[in-house]
Amino acid sequence: MSEEMRTDERVFIMGEDIADMGGSQGVTKGMLDEFGPDRVRNTPISEEAIVGAGVGSAMAGMRPIVEIMYFDFTSMAMDQIFNQAAKWRYMTGGQVTVPLTLRTQGGAGWQSGAQHATMVEAWFTHVPGLKVVMPSQPDDAKLLLKASIRDPNPVLFIEHRDCYPRKGEVPDDVDAIGEIGKARVLREGSDVTVVAYSAMAFHALSAAERLEAEHGISVEVVDPRTLQPLDMGTIVTSVRKTNRCVVAHEAVTFGGFGAEIAAQIQEHAFDHLDAPVLRVGEKFAPIPFAPVLEEFIVPGEAEIIEAVKRVAYVG
């Protein structure tokens, strides 16, 4: 974000407690000192007003980055996201663009309770005009955020708090940006494809290592990186190679984005499947506060291993 603000004076950020505090996860800490209060703006506690101001400033020629403190709180701004940000370019025949980047974070594993840990990305992938990005790797987080800020369309950029401590090589070239709508093969394999994004990609990678070491199952891990637009080409190519697939995400399984991926695999690679596509997701319940209950309903490495073994041993 700082790189883009240095490059383009139209870029600014706003959200609850993002200035002195640096946001709930410290992502914007120190940016107030460099850019000042005009470009690093604290806001009142009103998600609808924050996003609405972002939509208006984007329509007026700015490139705002709006932070919603927790993913759950996007529900308070649904009209602005769904009816305003996503539709204005279409309704004006392209005369008005909305280059708004809507950043938020969430996810379980921190015992933050039912109102601060829900993953609801599937809500937004159903909205024409809105792009949805959910990276897992450190370099993708940087490069796809830069691409989101430069995109002329509204982009929902979803970060998982479990990804913040992750480390990896990140390019320092200020001109390098990611490609929205392109998946990434994180691990090559030949027996089963696991499609996983955000923090679940790390669980998929660790599960793949164990499955190969303990059961001789070679797992290919594909990270979509962006859910809308979705790169089904890379996913289908992998499934046609392995003939088996598991889709894993943290959100509840019922109605989750994994169902869309599974349906498209059935449409485009049905003749290549040697087993049903299985989905791994959260049990259908609000996120509990108690650590043992949270661990019980939120999927991870063990659930992915179980699903892969089921599809690998079919037939």
Residue 181 sits at the vertex; the CA angle it makes with 73 and 119, to the nearest 5 degrees, is: 25
CATH code at 2-163: 3.40.50.970
pLDDT reported for residue 24: 87
Give me the tens of pLDDT residue by residue for the chain, a chain 315 residues long. 999 999 999 999 999 999 999 998 999 999 999 999 999 999 999 999 999 999 999 999 999 999 999 999 999 999 999 999 999 999 999 999 999 999 999 999 888 889 999 999 999 999 999 999 999 999 999 999 999 999 999 999 999 999 999 999 999 999 999 999 999 999 999 999 999 999 999 999 999 999 999 999 999 999 999 999 999 999 999 999 999 999 999 999 999 999 999 999 999 999 999 999 999 999 999 999 999 999 999 999 999 999 999 999 864
- Closest to 145 measured CA to CA, from 153, 133, 130, 163: 133
Question: Which pTM was predicted?
Answer: 0.96
Alpha carbon distance 278, 69 (integer Å)? 32
Tell me, what DSSP letter sits at residue 115?
T
Q: Report the CATH number of the 184-312 domain.
A: 3.40.50.920
The pLDDT, as a whole number, for residue 314 is 62
* Counts of helices then strands in the chain (DSSP H, E): 12, 12
- Helix (H, G, I), strand (E, B), or coil: what is residue 272? helix
Provide the pLDDT for residue 315: 47
CB atoms within 10 A of CB 90: 11
Is there a common fold for 2-163 and 184-312?
yes
Cα gap 145→156, rounded to integer Å: 10
Give me the residue spans of the domains in the chain.
2-163, 184-312
Structural tokens at position 105: 């974070």
Count Cβ atoms below 10 Å from residue 19 Cβ, excluding itself: 22
Catalytic positions, written as ranges? 47, 116
> 249, 261, 253: which is closest to 202 by C-alpha?
249
Q: Note the pLDDT of residue 110.
A: 84
The backbone region for 5, taken as left when phi is positive above 0, alpha when psi lies in -120 to 50, beta otherwise, is alpha
Strands 40-42 and 184-187: unpaired
- In the DSSP assignment, the letter for residue 59 is H
